[in-house]
Amino acid sequence: MRLLLDHCVDWRLKKSFPSHFVRCASDMGWERFSNGVLLAAAAGQFDVLITTDQNLRHQQNLAGFTIAVIVLAAKSNNSPTCFLWSQRWRRPWAPIKPASIVEIQAP
């Protein structure tokens, strides 16, 4: 699976997905893109955008996009919190469908 970490997600989380192709928005030169522009740029190159932006689901209509979104929901997006999420990611993911949003609550 091809994963893109949004600029608000700690880049060190790339290590949490050893069997996937993972890039950060900053790796792609996309760290200043708004959500809509980021989704459009990532579609076709990535399968999933991982973000901590809990407002994305209210701001963007994913209909027509070929990318899914995983929202990491917590009060903080600091490294320790994000690494706790990674423990949940180690189990097999249910099939994530394009144009869908899946929210993962922090432990």
Q: pLDDT, tens digit, for every residue of 15-30?
A: 878 888 999 999 999 9
Q: What is the dihedral of CA 40, 43, 49, 54, to 10 degrees?
A: 40
Report pLDDT digits (tens) over 4-18: 999 988 888 888 788
pLDDT at 87 over 80: no
- Reported as a pLDDT band with limits 50, 70 and 90, residue 59 is confident
User: pLDDT-derived band of residue 2, with 50, 70 and 90 as boundaries?
Assistant: very high
Q: What is the pTM of this model?
A: 0.86
For strands 48-51 and 21-24, give the pairing.
Answer: unpaired
Residue type at 29 in one-letter notation: G
**DSSP letter (8 states) at residue 9:** S
pLDDT value at 94 more than 70:
no
